Structure 1
Amino acid sequence: MPRRRNRLTMDVNPKQVDAELLDDWDLARDSFLRDCRVRNLSEHTVKYYRNELETLRKTLVAGKAPTDPTKIMAEHIKEAVILPMMDAGKKETTINARLRAARSFFNFLERERYIMDNPMASVQLVRQKRSVVQTFTRQQVLAILGAPDQMTFTGVRDYTLLLLLFETGLRVKELVNVRIDDIRFEDGVLRVQDPKGINERLVPFQTTVRGQLRKYLSLRGKLEHDFLFVNIDNEPISIRQVQNRFRIYGRIAGITNVRCSPHTARHTFARMFVASGGDAFTLQRILGHTTLEMTKRYVALFSDEITKSHKKHSPIEKLF
């Protein structure tokens, strides 16, 4: 009996078996967004994907590249998307935001066997320059906190939310989503949820913030909803309103060298936490980072260990 041939011959491409190719961009996009909703992704995430994919389609058209998902190749992404965005002076973060959306989109199409080849398989994110993380100084934090007029309801509200931002490092979208029953005064912690209430974490706060929250709540009173921060019409305060108020208080405080925003307050919290000896794992849990990448960056930037070590071993200092 002759020996069996070891090498197999395939008459059919295994990737073609049972494949139902989607050659229409709109149908492919809608299928992907439907899957995002089925996976219960946040409204913010779905909106991000929708906007980025629409811009991606327009960019491909402008670059005379195909929009048929089955015909798009890696070279189309590189030549019609990445290079034109670079030439237009777009930031690396903006380019990578589009590439991440494209990667999720084509990964879905490949997983569902709507395309034969994934063009993003060989496309890497653009290398980002590590920019300096801006933070407020101690004096600037005090100046911002001193800016609200606490003889008004909005002033007390703003002072309270500013204090809470600097105390907890909350994202602004988390701040506006805080409900009254998220505050656990007896434990000194705040329950922080995403807008859909799927993920949550407990963030500590201390005596000063506890007292200020009680003062604000006495002024807020009982309303038909339980959102913590409200405007003078007793409606939940919006992200845009918080951002605008922060800018106003930055101008009042005379701050010109740092961007006055809730996210700068988040960076400032991280710097102060690390400078006080806080560890990376605790900081990760407080900030709600899914990975240690950004937390490690905070530690690397703000830890005084490097400065102390340099002071101890400085070559120049040892010369004199």
Structure 2
Amino acid sequence: MSPKRRSNQISIPQKQRFSPTDFGPKSLDEAIHLFLRECKIRNLRQDTLIYYKKELDFSAKLLRNNDAPEDPNKITASDINDSIILFMMDQKLKETTINTRLRAVRTLFNFLDRKGFLENNPMKEVKLLRNTKRIVETFTRDQIRTLFAQPDQETFTGMRDYTLMMLFLETGVRLNEMANIKVDDIKWQDGVIYIRHPKTQSHRSVPIQLIMKKQLSKYVQLRGQLNHDFLFVNIDNEPMLRQNMQQSVRKYGRMACILNVRCSPHTFRHTFAKMCVQNGADVFTLQTILGHSTMDMVRHYVNLYSNDLTERHRKFSPIQDIY
């Protein structure tokens, strides 16, 4: 007697018996390992890999400390809210710091979801924190003059640091971007510098004017020919690291006795934006030069520093009208 012909339809119990999640990672550590492996295969930058590993390892620690499930497929939105968000808020950490960690966690769970390892992605129910708009610190013109007077331009490091601070103010570039500038990125005839995006390696052209070009030319001649093309170098002719650039700006801030403003490369970026707005730069030009992907921060600069706003207020000020 021949066997009964099987049904071609797979029953629901049979489907449930072979869930894709059965083959997924059973621990956070295993999930993080798989994710970082994928990032390496995609050839992401080393800085990005370090960021993901640091944030995800710390997030896993917070989840364990709060007795969250070890299996990523059993972690809920409540686990993430309680273990990560509320914990970090209790530590009085800034919204930007908390959101930086949440973005890494969201990327991990989106990866697991995309691979079919999750029945429910908990990050779909977790929202980033709304950023509180803070006052943007900038240098005054007097503070800039005092800062620029500090480097000893009779020394190589003094000339280099003077040029570095000038270029921060002239271009408003990010610290990561400054550390990656090569000598060949300076297009002398066009009056621009190619600024490489630290993540995508795409570039944008940022203008430099005559005074900056002259100073850069003096520094490049002093730098000389080396076996690499990085623009800013230390006394051993090695590429200048980001932390060294930060330390230099901080040092000159102390020497200049500037106490009410954080002396950092990012303060130069805010100061650049402020001066551009006050000198009439439009939002599209500012967005292009600064390399912002959205208009949010640019609009914030315009709202803070636009002379037009002050002029318009002068015309309809109730107090001015009364007195």
Query: By the TM > 0.5 criterion, same fold?
Result: yes
Is 1:123 aligned with 2:126?
Answer: yes
Contact 2:66–2:83 (Cα < 8 Å) also in 1:
yes
Amino acid at match of 2:63: L
How far apart, in 2, do the equivalents of 1:198 and 1:277 lie?
Answer: 30
Amino acid at match of 1:59: L
Is 1:188 aligned with 2:191?
Answer: yes
Is 1:66 aligned with 2:76?
Answer: no
CA deviation profile, 1:142-183 (whole Å, cap 9, x unmatched): 111111111111111111111111000111121121111111
Contact 1:134–1:264 (Cα < 8 Å) also in 2:
yes
Contact 2:48–2:199 (Cα < 8 Å) also in 1:
no
- Distance change (3 Å), C-alpha of 1:98 and 1:195: closer
Amino acid at match of 1:28: A
Shift of residue 100 of structure 1?
A: 1.0
How far apart, in 2, do the equivalents of 1:82 and 1:120 lie?
Answer: 12
CA deviation profile, 1:218-265 (whole Å, cap 9, x unmatched): 111111111111111111111111111101111122211000000100
Amino acid at match of 2:248: R
Percent identity between matched residues is 49
Shift of residue 128 of structure 1?
A: 2.1
Instruction: Name the residue aligned to 2:315.
Output: 312
How far apart, in 1, do the equivalents of 2:301 and 2:175 lie?
Answer: 19
Instruction: Name the residue aligned to 2:7.
Output: none
CA deviation profile, 1:50-78 (whole Å, cap 9, x unmatched): 11100001101111111310100011111
CA deviation profile, 1:296-318 (whole Å, cap 9, x unmatched): 22122222222111111000110
Q: 1:157 aligns with which of 160, 176, 197?
A: 160
Find the residue that maps to 2:30 and give its secondary structure.
helix
How is 1:80-119 mapped onto 2 (pairs within 5 angstroms)?
Answer: 80-119=83-122
Is 1:273 aligned with 2:276?
Answer: yes
How far apart, in 2, do the equivalents of 1:146 and 1:275 lie?
Answer: 24
Instruction: Name the residue aligned to 2:31.
Output: 28
5+ unaligned residues in a row in structure 2: which ranges?
1-10
For structure 1, which segment, 181-190 or 44-53, has the greater mean C-alpha deviation from structure 2 after superposition? 44-53
TM-score by length of 2: 0.91
CA deviation profile, 1:9-29 (whole Å, cap 9, x unmatched): x94789x86554322222211
Find the residue that maps to 1:256 and give its secondary structure.
coil
Instruction: Name the residue aligned to 2:5.
Output: none
Is 1:78 aligned with 2:81?
Answer: yes
Contact 1:22–1:115 (Cα < 8 Å) also in 2:
no
- Distance change (3 Å), C-alpha of 1:305 and 1:40: farther
How is 1:142-181 mapped onto 2 (pairs within 5 angstroms)?
Answer: 142-181=145-184
Amino acid at match of 2:167: L
Instruction: Name the residue aligned to 1:224.
Output: 227
How far apart, in 2, do the equivalents of 1:45 and 1:308 lie?
Answer: 44
For structure 1, which segment, 300-309 or 160-169, has the greater mean C-alpha deviation from structure 2 after superposition? 300-309
How far apart, in 2, do the equivalents of 1:44 and 1:89 lie?
Answer: 26
Amino acid at match of 1:155: G
How far apart, in 2, do the equivalents of 1:271 and 1:194 lie?
Answer: 22
Is 1:212 aligned with 2:215?
Answer: yes
Q: 1:297 aligns with which of 277, 283, 300?
A: 300
How far apart, in 2, do the equivalents of 1:40 and 1:184 lie?
Answer: 29
Find the residue that maps to 1:70 and give its secondary structure.
helix
Find the residue that maps to 2:280 and give its secondary structure.
coil
Contact 2:20–2:117 (Cα < 8 Å) also in 1:
no
For structure 1, which segment, 86-95 or 19-28, has the greater mean C-alpha deviation from structure 2 after superposition? 19-28
For structure 1, which segment, 69-78 or 219-228, has the greater mean C-alpha deviation from structure 2 after superposition? 219-228
How far apart, in 2, do the equivalents of 1:36 and 1:290 lie?
Answer: 22
Amino acid at match of 1:243: Q
How far apart, in 2, do the equivalents of 1:139 and 1:88 lie?
Answer: 37
CA deviation profile, 1:180-223 (whole Å, cap 9, x unmatched): 11111000000111457721111100000000011111111111
Contact 1:184–1:190 (Cα < 8 Å) also in 2:
yes
TM-score by length of 1: 0.92
Contact 1:134–1:258 (Cα < 8 Å) also in 2:
yes
